[in-house]
Amino acid sequence: MLVVDIEKRLGDFEIKIAFESRGNVTALFGNSGSGKTSTVNMIAGLVAPDRGRIALDDSVLFDSTARVDLPAHRRHIGYVFQEGRLFPHLSVAANLDYGRRMSGLPRDDVESRRVFDLLDIGHLLDRRPGKLSGGERQRVAVGRALLMRPRLLLLDEPLASLDLARKREIMPYLVRLRDETRLPMVYVSHHPGELRSIATTVIQLDGGRVGEIGGIELLDRADRDTL
């Protein structure tokens, strides 16, 4: 279970967000500027909240009163960034293996093969990131995050940089990921259609605050509001 209760001031913008998530895929849903990316950055440990507490299962990642702030490299939280952020100087294979090497995990060919098959990226291993299409790049980014064996997977607008056809290409892989692994995920998007096919819990953010928490029916209302 992920417990988030944080406050952070960024210039004039104040984020004050609290939620608990037990769901398999928790969607953080809201317009740009609602604090979605800042929230996942704080869960990942890339940005420190001013106050509050973040806990994952029985481990405390951040607690301002207890002065706990686990650095990002010790949180074991996978992060798929909007623009992939593959390392340009490493091959796809070395990118995929990076998390395992840095976390000091033993080589596991069975697990690697399973992830390559799940995401259909086995044929890309010898390439350089610069030679991948947008869809391939994001699949490799998901694979890289999975192979570090995370306790939680954060996905920040993983499809936003792709055109509609590429989005349709990747979504089935993410749904398979949800159904075939028990890995909890936090999925950030401002796109109701995208979330409808993957989210199990929806947390609506608005201006740095939590609006509503519910199921994917919240997305229908958002659709109506925008119409």
Binding site for another protein (CB under 8 A): 44-46, 71-79, 81, 85, 87-89, 98-99, 102-104, 128, 130-131, 144-145, 148
CA atoms within 13 A on the CB side of 134: 14
The minimum distance between CB 227 and another protein, in angstroms, equals 35
Closest CB to another protein among residues 132, 202: 132
Helix (H, G, I), strand (E, B) or coil at 15: strand
Residue with tokens 């490299």: 73
Closest CB to another protein among residues 75, 190: 75
The minimum distance between CB 3 and another protein, in angstroms, equals 20
- Report the run of H or E that residue 95 belongs to, with start and end: helix 92-103
* Four-residue CA torsion sign, 104, 3, 9, 190: positive
Q: Answer yes or no: are the C-beta atoms of 189 and 157 closer than 8 Å.
A: yes
Q: What's the DSSP call for residue 34?
A: S
The minimum distance between CB 103 and another protein, in angstroms, equals 4
- Report the run of H or E that residue 96 belongs to, with start and end: helix 92-103
Q: Answer yes or no: are the C-beta atoms of 218 and 212 closer than 8 Å.
A: yes
Closest CB to another protein among residues 36, 202: 36
Closest CB to another protein among residues 62, 218: 62
The minimum distance between CB 147 and another protein, in angstroms, equals 9
Q: How many CB atoms lie within 10 A of CB 174?
A: 24
The minimum distance between CB 89 and another protein, in angstroms, equals 5
Closest CB to another protein among residues 84, 192: 84
The minimum distance between CB 72 and another protein, in angstroms, equals 4
Closest CB to another protein among residues 142, 202: 142
CA 67 vs CA 39, 57, 60, 64: distances in Å: 19, 19, 11, 5
Tokens of 95: 């990118």
